[in-house]
Structure 1
Amino acid sequence: MDEALEDKRKKTIGWRAILIAGPTASGKSALALDLAKRLDGVIINADSMQLYEDLRLVSARPSPSEERDAEHRLYGVLPASQAFSTGAWLRMASAEMEAVWSEGRVPILVGGTGLYFKALTQGLAELPDIPEDIRERARDLADREGVEGLRKALADAGDIVAAGELADPQRLARALEVILATGQPLSVLQKAQHATPFLSPEHALRLVLAPPRAWLHERIARRAAMIVGEEGIDEVRALLGKGLSPKLPGMRAIGIAEIRDLLSQQASLDETINRLTVATRQYAKRQETWFRNQMPDWQRIDPSVGIDLERLPGFAEK
């Protein structure tokens, strides 16, 4: 084996994988790319919107040049017409990680979908299939009444835990689907199954990027202006031209509704950039809250001051 490659791998002895979470625009992809180059790593997507092939710019997927610099997997692998679940991602990601390990390399999972990381390191109960009519009812309610309507429906159906703890519309709708289909709260079914995690937390270097709010907001504003450029507008125009249901997860990506209104002349260019900036900031705040509450034992690092990997607790020693 090449001595330089062996030196790279020695730095991660003890870590089976590196996990990088953080809010949108916090620099996750850049950190993953740096690690992949240094450690002969393979970057695996853990962001629900970057799975979709139709959303390269809108979802801020790694650029073609970045994908050439290091191997990337599970990016742009689904059409926007396909709905996708956390369980489906876990199955795909687990298979990719097994393949990377078999090659003697390091899997580096990166993304902003906290539930994916939670499922990977804490396990995910296999839930029953949901009849399409129940799924449609939950989606319709989410469209009409949003978070509060879903919470009320969950409480009325008997799932007080989900109604009080969840804030993400998709997760609330999923919990509603489960109790309507099975008569049991989602939390009860999950506890009953005692799911075993695919990756034990102690076997992974787990990082959450936690930048200062002002620094992150400035990056979000720059990204919004970039997305609402000619290529981003063309991307959304092409997607809208497919006539897909607005209820599909891929059609709910931040930026689609804003650019749709620009294309229909319901908003000016400046208004569109501002709306996209505000919506992305709000999303980043929700992500930060989720990471803070759900990942209290992950190492938090500030990307605004630069990241010295050798100084991370446990990195150099592993």
Structure 2
Amino acid sequence: MSTAQSPENQAVALIAGPTASGKSDLAVRLAQRIEASGRPSAVVNADSQQVYADLEILSARPGKHEMGGIEHRLFGTWDGAQPCSAADWAGQAKQEIADLHARGGVPVLCGGTGLYIRTLLDGISPVPPIDPDIRAQVRALPVEALRKCLIGEDPASAARLNERDIQRMSRALEVVRSTGQSLGWWQERKAGGIAEDISLHPLVLIPDRDWLYERCDRRFDWMLEAGAIEEVATLARRGLDPTLPVMRAIGVPEILAYLEDELDLASVAEAGKTATRQYAKRQFTWFRNQPPRDWPRADKKTIAEYDFFVSLFQ
């Protein structure tokens, strides 16, 4: 992901990192400071769960009192019945960024979904539509057969992907079978990213892992007390396809099991906390290794926004 510089009126701040690491609070403080300097600002969501209107509580979407008088965009924008892909989000994020730039403002991107951020900055691969018959054949394969086929037809993807990552392995196999080229070949031809057109001011938050896990546990308890069960019950009444992202969001399957008398509340809490910590662990790995090495990393629990974004105010 390039961070090539361009005129400062095209500045974009980015605060990224694992769930529950304090990104939202820092983003609001930074946007407040930007507005105090005389420029408009807004916090633009880059979290794949906070985009859904149905998940206000379970996604820990910021409430009005947490927004600090700052405009927030792309929070709760998608209905759960409509999946929000990385390309969908990036297209909308580009529009929000362009709107703020047109007014001389500075967008503050905030979130922990690495694929969203990468798609916005680097663009998307121009993979042609997948043949429906090939997709059906691939998705019907048992896991062992899927893995064996991928090793034979796209060994590079097989080496890169975890053998339990059925979704990504299926995607790689259907791409090579449908297009005749590997997913890696297509990914080298990405287009539409904005990295070369903006002045990016990134910060990756990577706090102490034990501290973060404790926050994750505490937050899930708060969610249950704040109405997460009622939120999922409302979602369940919609009768949505269980494979939709909104139905697979952390906490939703666990609470659905409780509503169907398959788990007691204590088991829901433990399962939800475990799933959250596992997700945070994967984010730790991604943000330690994927962003460019010159992106600043902060491991402090409390940081001053000015210390890391001083270049925005010079």
Give the TM-score, by structure 2 length.
0.86
Contact 1:139–1:247 (CA under 8 A) maintained in structure 2: no
Where 1:107 maps in the other structure, the secondary structure is strand
Where 2:227 maps in the other structure, the secondary structure is helix
With over 3 angstroms needed to count, the CA separation of the structure-2 counterparts of 1:240 and 1:139, relative to structure 1, is: farther
Structure 2 residue aligned with 1:251: 247
For residue 295 of structure 1, report the CA deviation from its aligned partner.
1.1
Structure 2 residue aligned with 1:61: 61
With 278-287 and 41-50 compared, the bigger mean Cα shift is at 41-50
Q: Would you say 1:17 and 2:12 are equivalent positions?
A: yes
Structure 1 residue aligned with 2:297: 300
With over 3 angstroms needed to count, the CA separation of the structure-2 counterparts of 1:112 and 1:169, relative to structure 1, is: farther
Structure 1 residue aligned with 2:105: 105
Measure, in 1, the Cα distance between the counterparts of 2:86 and 2:217.
Answer: 29
With over 3 angstroms needed to count, the CA separation of the structure-2 counterparts of 1:24 and 1:183, relative to structure 1, is: same
With 283-292 and 75-84 compared, the bigger mean Cα shift is at 75-84
Measure, in 1, the Cα distance between the counterparts of 2:137 and 2:225.
Answer: 36
Question: How many residue pairs are counted as aligned between the two chains?
Answer: 300
For residue 13 of structure 1, report the CA deviation from its aligned partner.
4.3
Measure, in 2, the Cα distance between the counterparts of 1:18 and 1:149.
Answer: 44
With over 3 angstroms needed to count, the CA separation of the structure-2 counterparts of 1:98 and 1:313, relative to structure 1, is: closer
For residue 77 of structure 1, report the CA deviation from its aligned partner.
1.1
Contact 1:19–1:109 (CA under 8 A) maintained in structure 2: yes
Measure, in 2, the Cα distance between the counterparts of 1:130 and 1:153.
Answer: 17
With over 3 angstroms needed to count, the CA separation of the structure-2 counterparts of 1:29 and 1:153, relative to structure 1, is: farther
Structure 1 residue aligned with 2:49: 49
For residue 150 of structure 1, report the CA deviation from its aligned partner.
5.4
Structure 1 residue aligned with 2:216: 220
Structure 2 residue aligned with 1:182: 179
The residue type equivalent to 1:26 in the other structure is S
For residue 173 of structure 1, report the CA deviation from its aligned partner.
3.8
With over 3 angstroms needed to count, the CA separation of the structure-2 counterparts of 1:206 and 1:266, relative to structure 1, is: same
Measure, in 2, the Cα distance between the counterparts of 1:137 and 1:314.
Answer: 53
The residue type equivalent to 2:71 in the other structure is E
Measure, in 1, the Cα distance between the counterparts of 2:106 and 2:30.
Answer: 10
- Pick one of 225, 238, 245 that aligns with 1:242: 238
Structure 2 residue aligned with 1:4: none
User: What do the CA deviations read for 1:209-246 (whole angstroms, capped 9, x no partner)?
Assistant: 10101110110011110122351001101111111111
User: What do the CA deviations read for 1:245-304 (whole angstroms, capped 9, x no partner)?
Assistant: 111122110101111111122222111111111111011001111111211422111241
Measure, in 1, the Cα distance between the counterparts of 2:137 and 2:230.
Answer: 33
With over 3 angstroms needed to count, the CA separation of the structure-2 counterparts of 1:35 and 1:286, relative to structure 1, is: same
Measure, in 2, the Cα distance between the counterparts of 1:149 and 1:282.
Answer: 27
Structure 1: tracts of 5 or more residues without a match: 1-11
Contact 1:121–1:201 (CA under 8 A) maintained in structure 2: no
Structure 2 residue aligned with 1:310: 306
Structure 2: tracts of 5 or more residues without a match: 1-6, 36-40
Measure, in 1, the Cα distance between the counterparts of 2:118 and 2:300.
Answer: 22
The residue type equivalent to 1:74 in the other structure is L
The residue type equivalent to 1:266 in the other structure is E
Structure 1 residue aligned with 2:267: 271
For residue 201 of structure 1, report the CA deviation from its aligned partner.
8.8
Structure 2 residue aligned with 1:77: 77
- Pick one of 246, 271, 278 that aligns with 1:282: 278
Contact 2:18–2:112 (CA under 8 A) maintained in structure 1: yes
Contact 2:28–2:68 (CA under 8 A) maintained in structure 1: no
Query: In angstroms, what is the RMSD of aligned CA positions?
Result: 2.5
User: What do the CA deviations read for 1:165-187 (whole angstroms, capped 9, x no partner)?
Assistant: 23465444433332232122111
Contact 1:27–1:303 (CA under 8 A) maintained in structure 2: no
Structure 2 residue aligned with 1:209: 205
Measure, in 2, the Cα distance between the counterparts of 1:150 and 1:62.
Answer: 40
For residue 73 of structure 1, report the CA deviation from its aligned partner.
0.8
Contact 2:250–2:272 (CA under 8 A) maintained in structure 1: yes
The residue type equivalent to 2:156 in the other structure is V
- Pick one of 250, 257, 260 that aligns with 1:261: 257
Contact 2:10–2:101 (CA under 8 A) maintained in structure 1: no
Measure, in 1, the Cα distance between the counterparts of 2:145 and 2:56.
Answer: 32
Structure 2 residue aligned with 1:129: 129
For residue 155 of structure 1, report the CA deviation from its aligned partner.
2.1
Measure, in 2, the Cα distance between the counterparts of 1:140 and 1:32.
Answer: 43
